[in-house]
Amino acid sequence: MTTAPSTTTDVTPADRPAQPRGAVSLRGAALAYGRRVLWNGLDLEVQPGEFLAVLGPNGSGKTSLMRVLLGLQPLSGGSVEVAGRPPGRGNREIGYIPQQRSLDPTLTLRGRDLVGLGLDGHAWGLGLRGRKDRKARVDEVLAAVGATDYADAPIGLLSGGEQQRLRVAQALVGDPRVLLCDEPLLSLDLAHQRVVSDLIDTRRKAADTAVLFVTHEINPVLPLVDRVLYLVDGRFRIGPPSEVMTSETLSELYGTTVDVVRVRDQVLVVGATGKLCEDQPHHVVQES
């Protein structure tokens, strides 16, 4: 059977039906600091319920991408939308989970207060009804992350894993359509890494929340990852782990020989360079 050659029709941009946009949409996005271009020509649609791992060595621009999506950093070119709107403080569709960092042990703020901060800006009203609804929502999300028992304790006295559950709760309490996670498993032991990644995965499946997850270690979340965005020195690749986490693709991205070895269900990345993403931890988003 022969196939008729495809024909192009003259359609002006105004006539073209609007393309459905993902939970996160970057079109021709570029970010440069002065003359240093971190990335350029980035087209990315993250779909509702999709889990995208963002990988790359130190300085490749992963945290800067989070800052763009949080509305803390403008693009140098192209466009960005999160849940169909420009990113920014007014965009309530975004939940953000930062790295685990030890909190000051003298901090007297309670876990439930920390979680409640995630509702700031939401329209709960000031009356009794608003306060009741607000408390009910905080209780609901504290229960969902298994933090009810220590919700009234000062957070400075909680373990790192308990504090991180509360940060997850804070990110989820506003019912976000997009969850931005910047190394949320760093400095957690294996058991707590599992707890936190399971909480994120449960949320994504229950509410179709898109997850963008910055990490230098893909293995703890590998079973959850739909696609990888791998950034290296201004180059990037986007695709499923089976396509991106290969010796060929990573050697091309790093510009040197990199071997990717699969052992059981783990991906091991080995290279002559000491600059591999997997070698080094990263730093955190600074709120401006």
Which parts of this chain interact with ligand ATP (CB under 6 A)? 33, 38, 56, 58-64, 282-283
Q: Is the Cβ–Cβ distance between 69 and 80 less than 8 Å?
A: yes
The CB-of-161 to ligand ATP minimum distance in angstroms stands at 22
- Complex with ligand ATP: residue 142 or 221, whichever CB lies closer: 221
Query: What is the spatial distance between Cα 178 and Cα 95, in angstroms, rounded to a whole number?
Result: 6
The CB-of-105 to ligand ATP minimum distance in angstroms stands at 26
**Cβ atoms within 10 A of the Cβ of 197, count?**
23
How many C-alpha atoms does 192 have within 13 Å on its Cβ side? Answer: 16
* Helical spans, DSSP H, in the chain: 62-69, 111-117, 128-144, 160-172, 190-207, 241-244, 247-254
The CB-of-225 to ligand ATP minimum distance in angstroms stands at 18
The CB-of-265 to ligand ATP minimum distance in angstroms stands at 25
Residue 76 burial (10 A CB sphere; 0-12, 13-18, 19+): middle
- Complex with ligand ATP: residue 89 or 262, whichever CB lies closer: 89
- Complex with ligand ATP: residue 62 or 92, whichever CB lies closer: 62
Q: Which residue is nearest to ligand ATP (CB)?
A: 282
Q: Taken in order 138, 140, 142, 144, is the CA torsion positive or negative?
A: negative
- Complex with ligand ATP: residue 17 or 34, whichever CB lies closer: 34
The CB-of-103 to ligand ATP minimum distance in angstroms stands at 21
The CB-of-38 to ligand ATP minimum distance in angstroms stands at 6
The CB-of-88 to ligand ATP minimum distance in angstroms stands at 17
Closest CA to 100 of 212, 188, 6: 188
- Complex with ligand ATP: residue 87 or 116, whichever CB lies closer: 87
Query: What is the spatial distance between Cα 254 and Cα 235, in angstroms, rounded to a whole number?
Result: 9
CA 219 to chain centre: 16
Tell me how far CA of residue 224 lies from CA of 51, 210, 213, in angstroms: 7, 12, 11
- Complex with ligand ATP: residue 106 or 286, whichever CB lies closer: 286
Q: Is the Cβ–Cβ distance between 10 and 32 less than 8 Å?
A: no
- Complex with ligand ATP: residue 33 or 189, whichever CB lies closer: 33
